[in-house]
Every structure is written in structure tokens, then in C-alpha cells.
Amino acid sequence: YGQTWHVPGAGPLTGEEFIRRVFEAYGKTPKIGARGRAFFRLAGLVAPRIREVAEVLYQFEQPFVLDGAKFAAAYPDFEYTPHDVAIQDTVNWYRAYFGA
């Protein structure tokens, strides 16, 4: 405790890759678009939470990959759940719980 631990998961994914995989698990085709800084600044004038998004846009404008070396050294036998398995399990749970 009192330390920072980064657990990067099964490997880096872009936001678009993640969205595509979720939609694929649902059997749907995503409609993906992008919004720039100007959109978030303007929308932030009327929606404070959106203003907060502008502060972390750097995470989406260039690769943002966590270094999990510390976690891997502490837990060398840890097995990451593959993204597609985690997504499908989540979709299955969501469908069972919400019927959607």
C-alpha cells in the first residue's frame, strides 16, 4: 500500500479498437466519430463534466501505454484475461442482467 501500481491489462488497444470489439461482441457495426479539443472546450461551457474531458485529451491524442513492469515483477504468474474474452463475458453478463 502507499504505492502506485499500473496494471496495463492484456495489451494496448486504441479506443477505436475497443469500441469495435464491443460492438462485434454484440453483433453490431459501430458508427465511430472523433471530436477535437474545440468541441470539448465549447461543450464544456454548458456541461462542466465535459470540460473535464478536455483536461485528459492528451491520453487520446497519442499512444498512452502503462508500464506494468512493477506489477509483473511482484506477480510473475498473473494471467491477464484476453480482451475479447473479457468483453464477451461482460456482454453476456449485461445481457443476462439487463436483458439487452
pLDDT per residue as tens digits for the range 4-23: 999 988 999 988 999 999 99
User: Tens digit of pLDDT for each residue in 16-52?
Assistant: 999 999 999 999 999 998 888 899 889 999 998 988 8
99 CB neighbour count, 10 Å cutoff? 6
In order of 7, 9, 16, 54, 63, the CA distances from 13 in angstroms are 14, 10, 8, 21, 9
Per-residue pLDDT band at 96 (split at 50, 70, 90): very high
Which residue, among 84, 100, 93, has the nearest Cα to 21 in the 3D structure? 84
Per-residue pLDDT band at 81 (split at 50, 70, 90): very high
Decide if 6 contacts 67 (C-beta within 8 A).
yes
Residue that is written with C-alpha cell 474531458 in the block: 53
- pTM for this predicted structure: 0.76
Residue 100 has pLDDT above 80, yes or no: no
The percentage of the chain sitting over the pLDDT mark of 90, rounded to a whole number, equals: 60
